[in-house]
């Protein structure tokens, strides 16, 4: 346990930030999982809708600093590729 006033404050701040980061990451993982479930189920319309809902959540998580911007871009890119592969080639 912290002994100094400044260390106690730092501890409180760290707890708040940890909980905020967990909440943001959890929301991001849920959005990603919904896209992946729609893709694995073969529902093209549902996958597109889930992707459109997931992209802002992923980028918002990165903008808050919970994850790195490159990770967010990589996730969006991979999910988009998976959804696009579902479409039949014309």
Residues of the chain with pLDDT under 70: 88-90
Q: For residue 10, what are the domain limits?
A: 5-86
Identify the CATH number of the domain in which residue 51 sits. Answer: 1.20.58.110
Predicted pLDDT at 87: 73
Distances in Å between the Cα of 76 and the Cα atoms of 8, 27, 34, 48, 52 are: 38, 14, 13, 12, 10
Predicted pLDDT at 76: 97
Predicted pLDDT at 26: 98
Number of domains in the chain: 1
Strand intervals (E) in 1-90: none
From the CB of residue 3, how many other CB atoms can be counted at a distance below 10 Å? 6
Predicted pLDDT at 88: 66
């Amino acid at each position: 346990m912290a002994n100094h006033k400044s260390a106690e404050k730092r501890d409180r701040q760290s707890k708040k930030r940890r909980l905020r980061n967990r909440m943001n990451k959890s929301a991001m993982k849920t959005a990603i999982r919904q896209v992946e479930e729609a893709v694995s189920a073969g529902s093209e319309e549902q996958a597109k809708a889930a992707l459109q809902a997931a992209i802002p959540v992923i980028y918002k998580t990165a903008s808050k600093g919970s994850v790195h911007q490159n990770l967010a871009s990589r996730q969006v890119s991979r999910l988009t590729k998976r959804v696009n592969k579902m479409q039949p080639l014309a």
